[in-house]
């Protein structure tokens, strides 16, 4: 029987992995080399550093997987040196991150009285998340600028804008992996892509959103800019340098700030578990018989939110209708307010992530919309239109 250790913060992990062997949970941050003495499969999230130190006593370990899209916490060179197969659930939370960005734009639009659909958005990094965001932006008929030179290099059908075009967009949304420079051999490093010089070129009317990796933006340079200028651009940070030991002095200067939870929808996290399950089945040469739909609970809005949605009528603008539907699913202002209050009293950034409440993705909501143009937009955004014919 395969011995499996899994992060207890992986939704439905016990239900999935107990079908494949002797599966036991560990608490993130509370695992040590001795725990791996008999482990054959280690399943983690981004809070566990799988490095040479952790692997020092793992003679039976043959498979390591992370139920997250990013895998900077995996020492892949060390895993390969030890002939341990590894896997990352790329794209598992792409929809959740894309929905977070759109929610941020509509919140800022309501606050600052602009229609997000009148803006141009540069998507920096067009992988799984970037592609998901582009789909939502185009559903809203928003002008999209796509920037991804590495993808253009390997995919002749993809055209990357210039970096100058990125800096000319009204809104810049970052979705790159963290790629460090290796002495000039790497042509496209992303660490501090937005450094002091680039940040100083942004205009006061621009918005920058980082929901990728904290190190893509030089947080020290950003703090200097925001502390010294009254006419700085608008910044939204979900990802931070040096997590969980973030630069808390940045918080008062940001329009929106959250604890690296953009991808933390129930569907996104559960999909990560499911993808790891499928890959582990393949590794063990076992059939993958379980489906994600077997576990996701039915979705019901609170009565107060339903009442608000019922007030949407055919005379409202598309911006109003879309904004209310998005707000009914995810109150980004509530996340921002909680983050500010909690971080003012505590340095436990990781605890906010660990205790993050359930958030559902848009398709879980069935909404009745009589205005056909608005219904088309919502359908393209991924909402379920209750009055659609089967």
Strand order in the sheet with 207-210: 143-147, 120-124, 171-174, 207-210, 234-237, 256-257
Nearest alpha carbon to residue 363 among 330, 389, 339, 332 = 330
Q: Catalytic residue at 241? A: no
CA distance 160 to 157: 10
Side-chain-facing half-sphere of 324: CA atoms under 13 Å = 19
384: which 2 tokens?
């379920």
Q: Catalytic residue at 264? A: no
**Pair 196, 221: CB distance under 8 Å:** yes
CA distance 189 to 179: 5
Nearest alpha carbon to residue 53 among 27, 73, 69 = 73
Residue the block writes with tokens 């993050």: 356
**Pair 158, 151: CB distance under 8 Å:** yes
Marked catalytic residue, from 45, 107, 117, 213 = 213
Angle at 191 between CA 257 and CA 214, to 5 degrees: 20
Distance in angstroms between the alpha carbons of the first and the last residue of the chain: 44
What does DSSP say about strands 85-88 and 120-124: parallel, antiparallel, or unpaired? unpaired
Q: Which long-range contacts (CB under 8 A, 24 or more apart) does 196-203 make?
A: 196/221, 196/224, 196/225, 198/167, 199/225, 200/225, 201/167, 202/167, 202/172, 202/233, 203/233
Marked catalytic residue, from 143, 243, 247, 278 = 243
Strand order in the sheet with 41-44: 21-26, 2-7, 41-44, 63-66, 85-88
Query: Per-residue b/e over 317-346, b at no fewer than 16 CB within 10 Å?
Result: ebbebbbbbbbbbbebeebbeebbebbeee
Q: Catalytic residue at 243? A: yes
Marked catalytic residue, from 151, 260, 264, 353 = 260
CA distance 4 to 26: 10
Catalytic amino acids?
Answer: 213, 243, 260
């Amino acid at each position: 029987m395969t011995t499996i250790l899994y992060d207890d913060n992986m939704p439905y992990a016990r239900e999935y992995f107990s079908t494949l062997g002797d599966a036991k949970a560990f608490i993130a941050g509370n695992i040590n080399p001795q725990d791996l003495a008999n482990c054959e499969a280690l399943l983690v999230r981004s809070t566990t550093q799988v490095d040479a130190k952790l692997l020092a006593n793992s003679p039976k370990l043959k498979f390591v997987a992370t139920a997250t899209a990013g895998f900077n916490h995996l020492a892949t060179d060390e895993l390969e040196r030890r002939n341990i197969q590894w896997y990352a659930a790329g794209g598992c939370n792409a929809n959740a991150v894309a929905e977070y960005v759109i929610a941020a734009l509509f919140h800022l639009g309501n606050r600052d009285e602009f229609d997000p659909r009148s803006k141009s958005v540069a998507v920096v990094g067009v992988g799984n998340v970037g592609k998901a965001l582009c789909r939502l932006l185009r559903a809203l008929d928003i002008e999209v600028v796509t920037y991804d030179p590495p993808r253009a290099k390997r995919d002749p059908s993809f055209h990357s804008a210039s970096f100058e075009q990125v800096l000319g967009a009204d809104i810049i949304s970052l979705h790159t992996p963290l790629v460090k420079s290796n002495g000039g051999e790497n042509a496209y490093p992303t660490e501090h892509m937005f450094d002091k010089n680039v940040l100083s070129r942004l205009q006061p009317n621009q918005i920058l959103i980082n929901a990728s990796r904290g190190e893509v933006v030089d947080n020290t340079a950003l703090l200097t800019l925001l502390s010294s200028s009254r006419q700085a651009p608008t910044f939204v940070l979900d990802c931070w340098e040096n997590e969980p030991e973030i630069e808390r002095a940045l918080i008062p200067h940001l329009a929106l700030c959250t604890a690296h939870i953009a991808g933390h929808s129930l569907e996104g996290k559960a999909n990560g578990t499911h993808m790891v399950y499928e890959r582990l089945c393949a590794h063990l040469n076992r059939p993958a018989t379980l489906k994600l739909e077997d576990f996701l609970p039915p979705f019901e809005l609170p009565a107060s939110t339903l009442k608000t949605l019922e007030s949407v009528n055919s005379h409202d603008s598309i911006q109003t209708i879309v904004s209310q539907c998005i707000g009914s699913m995810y109150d980004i202002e509530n996340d921002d307010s909680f983050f500010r209050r909690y971080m003012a009293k505590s340095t436990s950034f990781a605890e906010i992530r660990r205790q993050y409440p359930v958030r559902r993705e848009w398709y879980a909501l069935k909404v009745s919309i009589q205005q056909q143009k608005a219904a088309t937009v919502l359908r393209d955004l991924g909402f379920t239109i209750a009055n659609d014919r089967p």
